[in-house]
Amino acid sequence: MRASALVGALLSVSSALQAPVLKAPRAAPLQSTIDRAANREKTDAVGRYCADDKSPERRSTSTVKVGQVRIGSSDPIVLQTMGTTDTNDVQASVEQILRCKEAGADMVRLTVQGIGEAKNSLKIREQLDAQGVHIPLVADMHFNRKAAMIACEAYDKIRVNPGNFADGRKTFEEIDYDVRGRRPLFPRHRRVPVERWTPSGREPRITRSLSTQDPQQFEDERAYIEKTFTPLVERCKELGRAIRIGTNHGSLSARIMSFYGDSAQGMVESALEFANICRKLDFHNFVFSMKASNPVVMVQAYRLLAATQYELGWDYPLHLGVTEAGEGEDGRMKSAIGIGALLADGLGDTIRVSLTEDPEFELEPCRTLAQLGDEAVSDANRQKAQNVIEFDDSETRPITSFTRREVTLAPSIYTDEFQALHRDGSVLTAVSATDLEDEQGLYAKLGMKTAVGMPFKDVASSDSIVLSEVPSDKTQLRTLSRLQTAGVGVVVPASVLAKTPLEGAIALVDGGEATPECARAAALRLTGAETDAELKAASQRSDVAFAIVDIDVENLSRTHAARRVFHHLKANNCAYPAILRLGYDAQTARAPNNGPLRKDLFILRMGMDGGSLSVDGLVDGFFVDAPFDVEFLRTASFGLLQGSRMRNVKTEFVSCPSCGRTLFDLQEVTAQISDRTGHLPGVTIAIMGCIVNGPGEMADADFGYVGGAPGMVDLYVGKTVVRSGIPNEDACDALVELIKENDRWVEPSEVEEEELVEA
C-alpha cells in the first residue's frame, strides 16, 4: 500500500472512532519535582490520600472517555483485561476479544510492539466493526513511539509506560544527582545500580555523566521527554483518544531511579512528569496507574499518587492492578490484597486482575473485586464506619511505609524452641471435636509432618488452633497433648476452661475478664467497641500472650474499627502480638450480591478484608474462620501472609500474564517451573514471556526466566543476565542448575530429612 493510501485509510478509521475529550478543570501549574519533593522531605508528611479514611466513600474524579466507556467516579468501576494473542494474527485476536467481551470485559488491551502490529490493529478494528461489536481497545506501548502514533488511529486508548517511552533498551548504570548540595531526598531507599536499556549499536538518546553535580541535567532530560511525548499527546487530543500513564515499579527510568531510588516516590514522580506534559497541552483525557508485583509497594504508590493529586488539586481516575500476580489461588490473593486495600478506601475507577491464565478468566475475579469495592463504600458500611469511636492514626499508620510493631512472643508450654506464634506472622486455625477424632488426618490438614506417628511443625503448619469446647474423649485429648508437645498453641474460651480445665491451654478472654488459673496465658479478644481507656488498659496487661482482634462486623466496619484497635496498641507501646480474626458464616462468605460460595471467590473477599490491614504492617497474623475445610483455610491464610510480604512458606513466583509479545507457552512453563522449584521458601523466581516484562518487571526476584528470542530463554540472577540463548526445552533444567550454583537449592528429600531430625 502506498503511503498516501495508508494515511487515508488510517484517517477514515479514525473518524469512525473519534470521541470527544472530556476536559478536567485546569489547576495550578505543577511545582518543580525537585522543589516539591524537597518540601515534603522537610515536613516528612503526606496529606490525605482518600476522600475520608474514617468513613469510606469513593474518591471523586473527573471522567475519562474511552470510546463509549466512561472511567471515573460518576460511573461504575470499569473491568478490563489484556489479550494474549499475537496482534499480527488478526483472526485469533478478534476471537479472543469476543470471548473477553462475553466474559464481561468493558475494554481489552492488546500489545503493539511495532509498526506491523499497529497496522494489523486496524484490521482487527475493521473486523469487530463489521460484526457490530463495539468494545474499546487499548494499545500497550513500549519503546516504539512511531508505532504509538499509528496505534492512535485504531485504538481508543494508548497505554504509555513512563519508564521506557523515552528510553530504549536498558543497561545498568548509576547516576549521582547532587541536588543543590542537599543529601538525597529519600535516603531510606538505598542507592542501587539501575537499568538503562539502549538500542544495540546506537548511542543512548539521553547522555549523562555518572557523577554530575548539576541538577539542571535532570531538568534538561525532562525536556527531552516532553519533546518525544508531545506528538503522541497532540494526536490523541486531535482524535479524541485517551491515555493511561502507567508506571511500573520494575521499569523506572535510570534518571528517576538515581534520584529517588527504587521507591513509590519515584513511581509517582515518573508519572507526574508525563501528566504535566499532558496538562501543558491542555489534554486531560488520561488516567494513572502505579503497578507493582509487590502488593505492599503497589498500595503505597497509589496512595502517594492520590495524596499528591489532592495536594495539586487534580482529580484524574486511577486504573488499579497488581502486575505479574501469577496464577490460581496465589494470583487471586495478591490481586485482592493490593486492589482490595485501595478499594476499601474508595480508590480505583477501573481494574485489571493480571493472571497467568487465559484473559477471559480474569474477568470473574475482576468483577468480584469491583463488587466488593462497591460494598466497601456502600451506605451500610459507611454507617458502620461512622459507628467507630473517633481516632487519629496519622502518626501510627504511615501510608507510604511498611513497619510492623515490635512485639514479644510468648514461649510454648513445653520448650522455648517452639512458640504459639511465629515472628514473621502467624496462622490460627479453628478445629472441631470431629476434626480431633481423625488424628493423622488432622495433622495433615494443619500442615504438620509426622515421625513414628508423632507430629512436628513444618514450614507452613498452623501455629495455634482454636477450640470452642474441651473434649472428654481420651483419643481427642491425646491428639491435643501431642499438638501441644509439637509447639502448637491451643486456644479455648475462658468460660469453657473454667468448667473443663485443659493443661497448658491459652484462655480466650474478653475485656477485663481474668485469666483462669488452669491456663498458661491469655489471648485477649478485642471487638473494636472498647473505649480508649479500655484499650489502654488492655495494652498493658502482662498475662496476655496475644490479642485476637475480632471486630463486631454487625455494627462496625472491620477495616476502620481494626485500624482504631491497632492504633491504640501501637500508641500505648503494647508488647504482645495481635492476630486479626476474619470470621464469616455461610452467607457472608459468599461472593457479593448473594453470589456463590466458592473457594476461588472467597479468596478475593478474604484477601481484601485482610490486605486492607496487612499492607500497613498492622497485623501479626490471621485467624480465618469460615465454612470451608481446615486445610484450605490454613493454606489460604499462609497465602495472605506471603502476599502481604510477611512470611514466606513457599517459593514466590512473579509470572507475567502473557500477551502478544510472549515467546513461549507461559502457562505450561510456569507449571513446569513451579513443579520443579516450588519447595524453596524464601526464593523468588520471575517467569517473563519477553524482554519487556523481563529485566524491569522482575522487581526483587532472585532468579529470572525470560523469553529472549523465539525458542530461546535468558536466565537472570537478580537483574543481571547470566546465561542467554538457552533452547526452551533445556531452560528449566538450566534454571535449576543456576539455583544450585547460587547455593539456594535444597533437594525435596533433604527438606523432609532435616524436618525428621528436628522432630
Would you say residue 38 has pLDDT above 50? no
pLDDT in tens, 287-312: 999 998 899 999 999 999 999 999 99
DSSP calls for 545-600: EEEEE---TTTS-HHHHHHHHHHHHHHTT--S-EEEEEE--TTTTSPTTT----HH
As to burial, measured by CB atoms within 10 angstroms (0-12 exposed, 13-18 middle, 19+ buried), residue 533 is exposed
pLDDT at 215: 66
Q: Which CATH number fits domain 652-758: 3.30.1370.60, 3.40.47.10, 3.30.413.10, 3.40.50.720?
A: 3.30.413.10
Residue matched to cell numbers 544450585: 740
Cell digits for 422? 511465629
Per CATH, which fold does 3-164+223-322 belong to? TIM Barrel (3.20.20)
Instruction: Please report which confidence band the pLDDT of residue 173 belongs to, taking 50, 70 and 90 as the band edges.
Output: very low
Average pLDDT of the segment spanning 501-523: 90
pTM: 0.85
Residue 173 sits at φ, ψ, to 5 deg, of -160, 140
pLDDT in tens, 124-136: 999 999 999 999 9
Whether residue 76 has pLDDT greater than 70: yes
Q: At 140, is the secondary structure helix, strand, or coil?
A: strand
How much is the average pLDDT of 129-144?
90
Q: Would you state the pLDDT for residue 663?
A: 57
| Those residues with Cβ within 8 angstroms of residue 470's Cβ, 6 or more apart along the chain or in another chain | 492, 496, 497, 500, 501, 502, 505
29 pLDDT band, cuts 50/70/90, is very low
What CA–CA distance (Å, rounded) separates 105 from 99? 9
pLDDT average, residue stretch 63-76: 97
| Average pLDDT of every residue of the chain | 83
pLDDT band at 1 (very low <50, low <70, confident <90, very high): very low
**Where do the CATH 3.20.20.60 domains begin and end in the chain?**
426-643
Tens digit of pLDDT for each residue in 325-339?
A: 777 899 999 999 999
pLDDT in tens, 399-408: 887 888 888 8
Please check whether residue 48 is in contact with residue 41, taking contact to mean a CB–CB distance below 8 angstroms: no
Cell of 368: 468480584
pLDDT given for residue 749 in this prediction: 62
The pLDDT value recorded for residue 211 is 35
- Residue range 706-726: mean pLDDT, rounded: 83
Cβ within 8 Å of residue 140, ≥6 positions away: 82, 109, 110, 111, 112, 159, 659
486 vs 253 pLDDT, higher one? 486
Q: How confident is the model at residue 182 (pLDDT cuts 50, 70, 90)?
A: very low
pLDDT at 374 over 90: yes
Cα–Cα distance for residue pair 306/375, rounded to 1 Å: 21
747 CB burial (10 A radius; 0-12, 13-18, 19+) = exposed
Higher pLDDT, 234 or 511: 234
Instruction: Tell me where in the chain the CATH 3.20.20.20 domain(s) lie.
Output: 3-164+223-322
Q: What is the mean pLDDT of residues 675-683?
A: 83
Instruction: Give me the pLDDT at residue 467, please.
Output: 97
Answer whether 64's CB lies under 8 Å from 285's CB: yes
The pLDDT of residue 532 is 97
Stated as kind and residue range, the H or E segment containing 108 is strand 107-111
Superfamily (CATH H level) for 426-643: Phosphoenolpyruvate-binding domains (3.20.20.60)
pLDDT at 108: 97
Q: Which of 260-269, 315-324, 350-359 has the lowest mean pLDDT?
A: 260-269
What residues form DSSP beta bridges with 717?
Answer: 703, 720
pLDDT of residue 658: 58
pLDDT digit string (tens) for 605-663? 999 999 999 999 999 999 999 999 999 999 999 999 999 999 988 887 776 655 555 55
Where does the chain hold its CATH 3.30.413.10 domain(s)? 652-758
- Name every residue whose Cβ is closer than 8 Å to that of residue 216 and which is 6 or more positions away in sequence: none
| CB 580 within 8 Å of CB 624 | no
Query: Which residues make Cβ contacts (< 8 Å) with residue 680, sequence separation at least 6?
Result: 650, 651, 739, 744, 745, 746
Q: How confident is the model at residue 400, as a pLDDT?
A: 80
Residue 106 has pLDDT above 90, yes or no: yes
- In 3D, which of 303, 307, 284 has the Cα closest to residue 292? 303
Given a cut of 90, is residue 523 above it in pLDDT?
Answer: yes
Residue 756 has pLDDT above 70, yes or no: no
Backbone region of residue 658 per phi and psi (left: phi > 0; alpha: psi in -120 to 50; beta: other values): left
CA dihedral 137, 143, 146, 150 (to 10 degrees): 0
Q: Work out the average pLDDT over 240-258.
A: 86
Q: Which three cell numbers stand for residue 711?
A: 525458542
- The residue ranking higher by pLDDT, 744 or 560, is 560
What share of the chain has pLDDT > 70, as a percent? 82
* Residue scoring higher pLDDT (45 or 363): 363
| Cβ–Cβ < 8 Å for 550, 525 | yes
Greatest mean pLDDT among 512-526, 565-579, 715-729, 733-747: 565-579
Lowest mean pLDDT among 175-184, 370-379, 627-636: 175-184
Strands (E) across 228-368 are located at 242-248, 286-291, 319-320, 350-351
How high is the pLDDT of residue 346?
Answer: 97
Distance separating alpha carbons of residues 701 and 721, to the nearest angstrom? 13
pLDDT at 707 over 90: no
Q: Which of 133, 145, 146 is nearest to 67 (CA)?
A: 133
Segment 453-487, tens digit of pLDDT: 899 999 899 999 999 999 999 999 999 999 999 99
pLDDT tens track for 188-222: 333 333 333 232 333 333 333 333 345 677 777 88
Average pLDDT of the residues in 515-537: 94
- 731 contacts 432 by C-beta, under 8 angstroms: no
